Chains A and B, each alone.
Chain A
Amino acid sequence: MKVHLKIKRFNPEKDKKPYWGEYDIEADEGDRVLDALQTVKWTIDGTLNFRRSCAHGICGSDAVRINGRNVLACKLLIRDAVKNGQITVEPILGLPLIKDLIVDMEPFFAHYRAVMPYLINDTDPGERERLQSPEERARYDDTTKCILCACCTTSCPSFWARGEYVGPAAIVQAHRFIFDSRDEGAAQRLQVLAEPDGVWRCRTIFNCTEVCPRDIQVTKAIGEVKRALITGKLD
């Protein structure tokens, strides 16, 4: 089918302001929007830039805004994306724009690192694995799925307002460890999240949950962290 692509373009070496690039391509209904971007890059205009790698929603490279909402370009099919023969593609919001669809991810990863996203447990585990019951394992399963694509954080109005807010992705990562029965760093992480730019910035807006390509219950995870802070209990 014929598709009209409207892509937000910006080249820091040439342009003062972003502008719309418009392209007409031929695409299959079942193609990914990422394929359409590749088609533009490979056959019409090689200067178009975007990040991508796995092409099946697993690496988190290609978070962009399609028709106004955050998605992974490789996880949205053309047939679901076309509106009146047209697809609009823009960079995600809230992070500094670098070039075309590429934004600076550094602030995002800085927040990630801030929540100590690694197992903290200094006791000697011995020769064999630490034991963990299936129930304990299930407790934090949802948040282990995160691929750090930033769809959630960059859809959050609280984050747009204040980039210092650690954002849903970092909280999801913290949650993954806080609720892991093998971890002993919950108190340290909760300390970080109790700061003014921690979980309390979350206004329960749900944009994050709605866009998470891994279907993580982001707001729920944030809520569980808030509850742990209030009740002093991890349950």
Chain B
Amino acid sequence: MTTAGSTTVHSVNRRTVRPVAPPRNGFERAAWVFMRYSGLVLVFLALSHWGFQHIFNSVQNLTLESTAGRWGVTGQIATLQIWFWRVYYGLLLGLAMLHGLNGLRQVVYDYMHFKPLYWGFMTVSTLLIVAVSAAGIAALFLGVNIAAVGGAAVR
């Protein structure tokens, strides 16, 4: 590039990076970042889970027994393998539900402009999702309640 001849003075700044104070309201920012990173983690968790359930195996073959094989049975002492599944499913469930809940919030925020309606809907949805998630986690840790259908058939 041709520039008209002029002496160069080195006092001017050639780098353009500057710090800036972060804003007070960090919630939306945190939510935004969370959506991206949780999404990236979920790719591995969700797709592998889907793979186990639908490709290497099938819902058609899914039985109480096969579930118990991973969760263990109520009252059983958890083996290392069971702990693995607990962590795996716990993480999957937690991340997916949080990710989904925030996703739902974004969508609802777009469409429900009447504040009470928005808050009402989100309260109910959050309660529902939290309750279901809690139940899911509880079940995961408590194991399959084989006793309820007549004893230790699996083992």
Binding site for B on A (CB under 8 A): 131-133, 135-136, 139, 158, 161-162, 164, 178-179, 181, 186-187, 190-191, 193-196, 198, 200, 226, 228-230, 232-235
User: B1-47: which residues lie under 8 A (CB-CB) from chain A?
Assistant: 11-26, 28-29, 31-33
CA distance A136 to B14 in the complex (A): 7
Binds A, one of B81-89, B92-100, B106-114, B138-146: B106-114
Also in contact, A136 and B13, with CB within 8 A (given A161-B111, A194-B29, A196-B28): yes
Select from chain A the residue with minimum beta-carbon distance to B20.
Answer: A186
CA distance A232 to B24 in the complex (A): 12
CA distance A193 to B26 in the complex (A): 11
Kindly provide the distance from the CB of B3 to the nearest chain A CB, expressed in whole angstroms: 8
CA distance A226 to B22 in the complex (A): 11
Also in contact, A232 and B21, with CB within 8 A (given A161-B110, A196-B28): yes
Q: Which residues of A contact B110 (CB under 8 A)?
A: 158, 161-162
Kindly provide the distance from the CB of B31 to the nearest chain A CB, expressed in whole angstroms: 7
Do B23 and A187 touch (CB < 8 A)?
yes
Binding site for A on B (CB under 8 A): 11-26, 28-29, 31-33, 109-111, 113
CA distance A195 to B31 in the complex (A): 12
Do B18 and A233 touch (CB < 8 A)?
yes
Given contacts A161-B110, A161-B111, A179-B16, 12 further A-B contacts (CB under 8 A): A133-B12, A136-B14, A162-B109, A164-B113, A187-B20, A191-B25, A195-B25, A200-B29, A232-B22, A233-B19, A234-B17, A234-B20
Also in contact, A132 and B20, with CB within 8 A (given A158-B110, A194-B28, A196-B28): no
Kindly provide the distance from the CB of B6 to the nearest chain A CB, expressed in whole angstroms: 11
Kindly provide the distance from the CB of B33 to the nearest chain A CB, expressed in whole angstroms: 6
Could you tell me the dominant secondary structure of chain B's interface residues? loop
Do B16 and A135 touch (CB < 8 A)?
yes
Kindly provide the distance from the CB of A235 to the nearest chain B CB, expressed in whole angstroms: 4
Q: Which residues of A contact B18 (CB under 8 A)?
A: 181, 186, 233-235
Q: Can you spell out 24 A-B residue pairs with CB atoms less than 8 angstroms apart?
A: A131-B11, A133-B13, A133-B14, A139-B16, A162-B109, A162-B113, A178-B20, A181-B13, A181-B16, A190-B20, A190-B21, A194-B26, A195-B28, A198-B28, A200-B28, A228-B20, A229-B22, A229-B23, A229-B29, A232-B21, A233-B20, A234-B16, A234-B17, A234-B19
Do A200 and B23 touch (CB < 8 A)?
no
Partner of B23, one of A179, A190, A233, A234: A190
Kindly provide the distance from the CB of B36 to the nearest chain A CB, expressed in whole angstroms: 10
Also in contact, A191 and B17, with CB within 8 A (given A200-B32, A226-B32): no
Nearest first, the 8 closest Cβ-Cβ pairs linking A and B are A194-B23, A161-B110, A235-B17, A133-B12, A200-B28, A187-B21, A139-B16, A191-B23
CA distance A195 to B24 in the complex (A): 9
Q: Which residues of A contact B25 (CB under 8 A)?
A: 191, 194-195
Select from chain A the residue with minimum beta-carbon distance to B27.
Answer: A196
Do A230 and B33 touch (CB < 8 A)?
yes
Kindly provide the distance from the CB of B99 to the nearest chain A CB, expressed in whole angstroms: 15
